[in-house]
Amino acid sequence: MSKMMIRGGDLDLVEYEFSPFCIGENIKTLGIDKRNFALKSDRNPVEVKVPARIHLSVLDMNRFAPERPGGGGLGFAISVYTTAVVECTDEKTEIDFSRKPIIKHFVEVFKKVTGYSGGFKICIRYHEKKHIGLGSTGSVMLAAGHAMNRAVGNPLTSEEIRLLIGCNYVEETTDGRIIRGFETGVGPAAATYGGMAVMGDDLTLVYHSVFAENENVYIIMPPTSADSAGEEEFRLLMNRARVLDYRDRELKAYMILMDLIPALKKKDLKKIGDIMWEIDFRGSKRAEVEHNSFEIYHYMSRLKETGLEFVGMSSVGPSIAVITKKGRCEVEKIAKDIGLEIALETKTDNVGIRFIENSPDKAT
């Protein structure tokens, strides 16, 4: 794999080499494997449903890398779902999913930390909307992790699963191996508990809140030719985004602590939207938007000027999330007048993980 240069400032230039490894290698157990679990394998299928997420912003790109999850940030869960059905088997693990390497690896993580020696039969179905900012990889790992956990008697807590995903987050390579991915922890936190999650560094959940529970969410896809995955994403996140966060991270942290969290507590969607509008022009979020061309700012500004309460781009884009009281017909006309179309209409999810069959509605 190629070596890539990371520049965060005039005196901050380091070389990072992407190093693929085989499934089951380089597992980070977080010390959980030192416990003795009393496992109770259930041969009945366990079904888990996990929401997708909108990742609004990283707090500081200088505090995370492929080998170091963190960086802080915020995002919320939406009612677009990934489903995993898992049952225990004697030895062999069978996976019905297109991206098998990432699931195979997390199976090995799970078995190492719990001591489970059997196999699994795993079937995963998800929204198939790849690389548009909905967090597909994280949702898939979270659904599989909770389904496996329930199938062997719940040895792990929701927090332990969330942290294991963050520290063992991977993407697949073209030769069937895997490689460390970028992970702030926003997606698994929002999807686990629903609502809005505000993250600090080192995968720390700083604040969680019910969010926009009676509003409509529209995902709008503006035209762009930018590459939002792979090496282009790396170059974006680890170079220009880091430079801009050196300048703006204190301001973003202040706005989140002093303005955003109080607005979340008051359920003031307009205020939340105004704060996010400011963050969209600050630090690494500015780099992410500009990566998709300055035209994205034009589209977002036109949408905001029509009175839509919340307009923000998810992750590295290009999807724009709109949250409003306005109905589909009105928002569709607004989008059409700007030259855009609604790609998805949904709601926020304020429940999080759901166990479908013979299980409580929410993870413990």
Q: In this structure, are residues 21 and 28 in contact, taking their beta carbons and an 8 Å threshold?
A: no
Helices (H) and strands (E) in the chain, counts: 11, 15
Q: H helices within the chain, ranges in order?
A: 100-114, 136-151, 158-167, 186-193, 230-235, 241-255, 261-266, 269-279, 283-291, 295-305, 328-338
Positive or negative, the CA dihedral 67, 72, 73, 77 is positive
How far is residue 232's CA from residue 182's CA, in Å, rounded to a whole number?
Answer: 13
Q: In this structure, are residues 246 and 252 in contact, taking their beta carbons and an 8 Å threshold?
A: no
Number of C-beta neighbours around residue 32 at 10 A: 18
Mention every residue, 6+ apart, whose C-beta is less than 8 A from residue 250: none
Q: Are strands 94-96 and 119-125 parallel, antiparallel or unpaired?
A: parallel
Q: In this structure, are residues 30 and 143 in contact, taking their beta carbons and an 8 Å threshold?
A: no
pLDDT digits (tens, 9 = 90+) for 246-271: 899 999 999 999 999 999 999 999 99
User: What token pair was written down for 303?
Assistant: 């949408």
Indicate the residue type of 241: A
Torsion of CA 16, 21, 25, 31, to 10 degrees: 20
End-to-end CA distance of the chain: 40
Q: Which of 118, 128, 127, 116 is nearest to 94 (CA)?
A: 118
Length of the chain measured in residues: 364
How far is residue 23's CA from residue 32's CA, in Å, rounded to a whole number?
Answer: 20
Indicate the residue type of 146: H
pLDDT in 10s for each residue of the chain, 364 residues: 455 555 544 445 555 667 899 999 999 999 998 778 889 887 899 999 999 999 999 999 888 877 889 999 999 999 999 999 999 999 899 999 999 999 999 999 999 999 999 999 999 998 766 655 676 788 999 999 999 999 999 999 999 999 999 999 998 888 989 998 889 999 999 999 999 999 999 999 999 999 999 999 999 988 876 655 556 666 666 678 888 998 999 999 999 999 999 999 999 999 999 999 999 999 999 988 888 888 899 999 999 999 999 999 988 878 899 999 999 999 999 999 999 999 999 999 999 999 996 544 444 4
Domains and CATH numbers, the chain: 19-210+350-355 (3.30.230.10), 216-346 (3.30.70.890)
How far is residue 136's CA from residue 142's CA, in Å, rounded to a whole number?
Answer: 10
Residue in the block written with tokens 């995370």: 64
Q: In this structure, are residues 191 and 138 in contact, taking their beta carbons and an 8 Å threshold?
A: yes
Q: Which of 74, 89, 141, 16 is nearest to 310 (CA)?
A: 74
